[in-house]
Chains A and B, each alone.
Chain A
Amino acid sequence: MPRFLFVIITALIFTGTPAFATGEETGGISEYKNVKPTDEKTVVSSKSTADHTKFKELQGPFADGPAVTKACLSCHNKAGKQFMHSLHWTWQYKHPKTGQILGKKTLVNNFCTNARGNEGMCSQCHAAYNHKGPDFDYTNPDNIDCVVCHDQTGTYYRTPATRGHKACSVMFEGQKPIQWTKVAQNVGKPKRANCGTCHFYGGGGDNVKHGDLSSALTTPDKSVDIHMAKDGLNMACQDCHVTSEHITAGSRYQMLAKDLKGVGKPGKRRQAASCESCHGLSPHDKVSGLKGIKLNGHVDKVACETCHIPEFAKGGVATKVDWDWRTAGKLKNGEGYNIKGYTQGNGEHRKTYKSIKGNFKYDENVKPVYAWFDGTMRYTTIDTKFDDSKPVYINSFSGSYNDPKSRIWPFKKMHTIQPYDKGNKTLVYMQLWGKNDAAFWGNYNFQKAIEYGMKSAGKPYSGKYDFIDTYSWWPITHMVAPAKEALACAECHKKNGRLAKLSGFYMPGRDNFWWLDLVGYLMLAGSVLLVIAHTLARIFMKPKLSDHEGDAS
């Protein structure tokens, strides 16, 4: 596992401090520390037709990352161009349906809010070297970081491209220098640890953002994820996220909410990250009988994930579900501090307050929120004006029972209270990272951080900020449970079940016509009463029968 991963995230406390008990306060603002590398056996015997250790181009010595990249591209002479078309590089996505310009380059989220202007820190997860600010040269292939994805030694790591305030600087210290030649010679297809380096730690910590992508997936057991289980299929990310010419299948901006194509032609995987692209369009065993047929009847309206991921944030790693920026900036003795108020399943303590970010709430083994989803995400961008009397949805979508493209999907719904421009009624860019006096992480001044963030991005700022409730939707696709742990029918087919809030369709077990039921039950009660009354009448009038004995035959 690349040490970068430890550098960035896993760590909860200061360098050299032992584990703290829940609720304990620590000083400073840094949340980074060096952690010992795991004993993961990272060098995998390659079935490749080439042994990279033998190539004269890779004998080194290499001064830095770009030098390694040059060597890579000298043989893989189309890889640079290919990669520069990928979202991993461009950080920009023009939505084919909505026309919105999306991507980390411009979007505002409801976690650390914006990468724009904070590239010095955030570009740790941009597969590029020297990405220090928005003026980064996206046309120079030498800046591609090949090894963050392809390293098989587990010794490669990345550090922030620029420096932050003093309190954050510990993250640069104590790192062994990268052995560029060794790294360059030991490359291969990305492993879960490679992808996880960034994708498990989105939002500034383990599982903070997605809820279904955490370090628990590095070596999960079957109940955490049936596909990636270490004692099972042990699949790599790209077994599903099929990649061709460095373009990876699967997108949260335009999802395949309902795959109608199923598996590809024999021997040819489709470049799609859908369940159906492996499991087909009628995945349940219909040969064994009615149950399989009935379950297959659900796939047109219910996404596979809805039943097969009953819970996310499994495996002992919590996800953030609530973030309150309003409390950020409290100081003790003139310094920022942290409070560790949550102990997650694997025993690690998570911070519930950080001076640099505010208050958080965590949750584990979370039941998703369900909604009809047509796959198209619409975003509240930095340019979107909104009604500030209502909560703002960072992303939203359409979908309904009657829309043949929609299915019921599971989501993580993230709630945050974050700064916005009260005058212009827009979201804001904040200057968080850096050494100037605007950077919030060190100066703790929202007004200055917003003013600088907006100005440097060329966006208008009214000068008045306030805080607003925001929500974001995170479709849940990972942490698929073993089949026997899939949702039972009655989880949804009952009153007040998981789908209680979805409307516009009749669902057996959940819905009824209350007045029909009322009339029906009254009729049944009436029938029973009639029977009882008649029986009693027969019993009590029986003695009279003897008076007329002989009448009856």
Chain B
Amino acid sequence: MSKSKKSCVTIYTRYERFWHWSQAALIFALAFSGFNIHGSFSLLDFQTAVMVHTISAILLIVLWIFTTFWNFTTGNWKQFLPFLDIRAAKGDKIDTLLIFFLRLYAVARYYAWGILKGEDHPFHKTLRRKQNALQALSYLTFMVVIGPALWASGIVYLLYDLWNTSANSGTILMLVAFVHTAAAFLMVAFVIVHVYMTTTGSTPLHYIKGMITGVEEIELTEVERAYLEQDHPERLQNDKSPSC
């Protein structure tokens, strides 16, 4: 592997950041209106809550359709595969798993202990790998389990009036409501931990700033640097600044 050097690089594209923040806003709106509908609190009247929830859901579905398209056309989808870079390095399946779990352990250990002792983060972002093992696994869970459980049950819920004449509609609705509520609790738990994790950078707002500007300090190989200089000079930030 060629020699690496830390640099400030725009690693989150403009669309990625738009996706992240609009999705965040919609998820907050959905969680707030959703638990209002659920009866956890009554800050909005039911009708307003339902309208906010329905419109946010429709916008989020549209956003996800665009993002899925974006993820696949840009190849960004690979970022969510926990094993991808490991498999690229080694071929063996057992080794791949082992390496992944070692990395996962390292990150988990860091957050549980190392961070308190002031240790360095065991993972170093690269151009090809923006997420650590724990991040990749939790985002994958978010995108493969919690997200789909919510939108799949949500769409069925939303279209209730189209299928409620079927014989078991009462039971189905109950099941749909169960899945939707359970996934919503998981989503809120994810958001709580996720938001907290953003404060664990060098300063509490470091990661949030990065997600807004798109610029992060990553290790850049000479080859990558040359590629960026050649094809994407705008992504290379001024190296003179002490941090980004």
- Name A's B-contacting residues (CB within 8 A): 290-291, 293-294, 296-297, 300-301, 401-402, 404, 488-490, 493-495, 504-506, 508-513, 516-517, 519-521, 523-524, 527-528, 530-531, 534-535, 537-538, 541, 544-545, 548, 551-553
Contacts and interface: CB of A to CB of B under 8 A. Distances in A.
Contacts of B46: 488-490, 493-494, 509
A251 B238 CA distance: 84
Top 7 A-B pairs ranked by shortest CB distance?
A297-B161, A520-B185, A490-B46, A489-B46, A545-B118, A506-B174, A527-B192
Nearest to A404: B165
25 contacts: A290-B55, A294-B50, A297-B160, A301-B164, A488-B45, A488-B46, A489-B50, A490-B46, A493-B46, A495-B39, A505-B173, A506-B170, A509-B37, A511-B177, A516-B185, A520-B182, A520-B184, A524-B189, A527-B189, A531-B193, A534-B111, A534-B196, A544-B117, A545-B118, A551-B118
Contacts of B45: 488-490
Interface string B122-165: 00000000000000000000000000000000000000110011
Nearest to A531: B196
A527 to B, nearest CB: 4
B118 A552 contact: yes
Contacts of A512: 38-39, 181
A345 to B, nearest CB: 29
B223 interface: no
A118 B88 CA distance: 98
Nearest to A294: B50
B25 interface: no
A238 B160 CA distance: 37
Interface string B108-126: 0001000111111000000
Interface centre among A488, A490, A510, A553 (most CB of B within 10 A): A490
Interface string B184-195: 111011001100
A553 B189 CA distance: 31
Interface of B: 37-39, 42, 45-47, 50-51, 54-55, 111, 115-120, 160-161, 164-165, 167, 170, 173-174, 177-178, 181-182, 184-186, 188-189, 192-193, 196, 199-200
By secondary structure, the B interface counts as helix
Given A509-B38, A544-B117, 5 more contacts: A301-B164, A490-B45, A508-B37, A511-B177, A521-B185
Contacts, number: 107
Contacts of B185: 516, 519-521, 523-524
A404 B111 CA distance: 56
A551 B180 CA distance: 46
A163 B51 CA distance: 64
A493 B185 CA distance: 21
Given A290-B55, A527-B192, A531-B192, A490 B47 contact: yes
A512 to B, nearest CB: 6
B159 to A, nearest CB: 9
Contact of A508 (B116, B177, B186): B177
B232 to A, nearest CB: 26
Contact of A541 (B39, B117, B173, B186): B117
A530 B197 CA distance: 11
Given A488-B47, A490-B46, A494-B46, A509 B118 contact: no
A548 B37 CA distance: 51
B181 A552 contact: no
A496 B229 CA distance: 66
A308 to B, nearest CB: 16
A402 B167 contact: yes
Nearest to B44: A490
Contacts of A534: 111, 196
B119 A551 contact: yes
A506 to B, nearest CB: 4
Nearest to B116: A541
A290 B178 contact: no
B37 A504 contact: no
A509 B50 CA distance: 10
A527 B193 contact: yes
Nearest to A522: B185
B200 to A, nearest CB: 8
A544 B119 CA distance: 11
B165 to A, nearest CB: 6
Given A527-B189, A551-B119, A516 B181 contact: yes
Contacts of B111: 534
A497 to B, nearest CB: 9
